[in-house]
Amino acid sequence: MMPAFSTCCQELVSRWTQSLGSDGTYEVDVCPEFQRLTGDVISRTAFGSNYAEGARIFQLQSEQTARLLARVKKIIISGYLSLPTKNNRRMREINNEIESILLNLIRTRMQAMQEGENTKNDLLGLMLESNMRGTDENGQCISGMTIDEVVEECKLFYFAGIETTSILLTWTMVILSMHPEWQDHAREEVLGLFGKNKIDYEGFGRLKTVTMILYEVLRLYPPAVAFIRKTYKEMEIGGITFPAGVLIELPVLLMHHDPDIWGSDVHEFKPERFADGISKASNNPCAFLPFGWGPRICIGQQFAMLEPKISLCMILQCFEFELAPSYTHALDNTKMLRPMHGAQIKLRAI
Ligand code: HEM
């Protein structure tokens, strides 16, 4: 995946470089920029697709989420969701358009596979291989994924992989603008490892400061502020007995800001708390939960750390940055934890 990551990041950095004014600076809201980047990355790496298709799916899914959230606020009577209201009709239209884009992508790929073309070894390729295989390596019958399941997985990957990672990158730029000393530390590390040359995979394992910074940003600004589990049988948790079927919300944001866990400096940006790894960063090794926990932990977490690392390295190699005067620090927690008024950053070429 490295070449695809690099290509997408290179496009971003080149676009910013071309936009620099005569004074060598460029002011940009990095939110949409990183959405475009992460949409492009997931399209290319998981689906062998292009930015335009990914962007349309992202746009449709964003509208769908906004409509869903608006609906959640209303009192829903039984059967309401099947009524042909304006909102319900639009939700169905959106779903149909997303599915038709994905089915097109799937059909084209299946045809290529049937014609024996050496198709890409990406997520879509693997899922379709499972769909087309009727037996396992021992000749036993297996039921692979159905096309409906493949479509649903594709939707989930687009949904889960774009906004989360773009939010992480956005907050990282904001926080490093607020803490130029950490921006300098990170740049020193990147230039020390790679100079101004191409980023190579081997060097990633040695990116200690950049990793600490990303962890601390994820602690202070976890894109997913909570996740939910349901008890499937009666069970005791924290001294309370819950019957089966109870929804329990894990308030990630609150846990990440709990002084009893992280210390009295909990609200400060201190990447050094992760100097000896996640388990030593607080007095509870399970308190850092940006990617969830257990069997349903984020399946894309390695991907989600690699992508910002590459992007950050390439940005630090080319630019210094600070908050633009128009930036206002306010949080929007309606969908995921985002900057409410965008993230206007002033870049300066170096
Ligand atoms: C900073 C970026 C990301 C964050 C903070 C994040 C966070 C999460 C969280 C909190 C969950 C729910 C886990 C749970 O319920 O325990 C989740 C699930 C998931 N994530 Fe991520 N994620 C990120 C990036 C990605 C990326 C890049 C992908 C795809 C390449 C991805 C794919 C998924 C999928 C498929 C699930 C559902 C897993 C399941 O239900 O088994 N995520 N993610």
d(CA 240, CA 236): 5
| Intra-chain end-to-end CA distance of the chain, in Å | 28
Report the distance separating Cα 261 and Cα 287, nearest Å: 7
Ligand 1: which atom is nearest the Cα of residue 296?
41
| Choice from 291, 305, 309, 338 to test ligand 1 binding pocket (greatest atom count within 8 A of CB) | 291
Q: Which of 166, 257, 159, 259 is nearest to 216 (CA)?
A: 257
Residue nearest to atom 43 of ligand 1 (CA): 298
Alpha-carbon gap, residue 42 to 281, rounded angstroms: 31
Q: Which residues' Cβ are closer than 6 Å to ligand 1? A: 156-157, 160-161, 164-165, 168, 223-224, 227, 290-293, 296-300, 303-304
Q: How far is the CA of 158 from the centre of ligand 1 (A)?
A: 11
CA–centroid distance, residue 101 to ligand 1 (Å): 22
Give me ligand 1 centre to Cα 303, in Å.
10
Atom of ligand 1 nearest to the CA of 223: 5
| Binding residue ranges | 298
Question: How far apart are alpha carbons 179 and 191 in whole angstroms?
Answer: 19
> Is this complex's ipTM strictly greater than 0.95?
yes
CA of 254 to the centre of ligand 1 (A): 19
Q: What's the confidence (pLDDT) of residue 167?
A: 97
Contact partners, residue 117, CB within 8 Å, separation at least 6? none
Write out pLDDT tens, residues 51-67. 777 788 888 998 998 88
What is the reported pTM?
Answer: 0.92
Instruction: Give the pLDDT confidence of 211-221 residue by residue, as tens digits.
Output: 999 999 999 99
Strands 319-323 and 344-349: antiparallel
What confidence tens digit (pLDDT) does each residue in 96-119 have?
999 999 999 888 888 888 888 776
Please name the residue whose Cα sits nearest to atom 11 of ligand 1.
Answer: 298
Closest atom of ligand 1 to CA, residue 304 = 27
Ramachandran bin of 197, using left for φ above 0, alpha for ψ from -120 to 50, beta for the remaining angles: beta
Q: What does the angle CA 207 – CA 211 – CA 213 come to, to the nearest 5 degrees?
A: 125
Has residue 72 got a pLDDT over 80? no
DSSP state of 335: S
Angle between helices 147-178 and 30-47 (to 10 degrees): 140
- Per-residue pLDDT of 278-304, as tens digits, reads 999 999 989 999 999 988 999 999 999
Q: What integer pLDDT is reported at residue 75 of this predicted model?
A: 63
Distances in Å between the Cα of 181 and the Cα atoms of 67, 277, 312, 319, 322 are 41, 21, 16, 15, 12
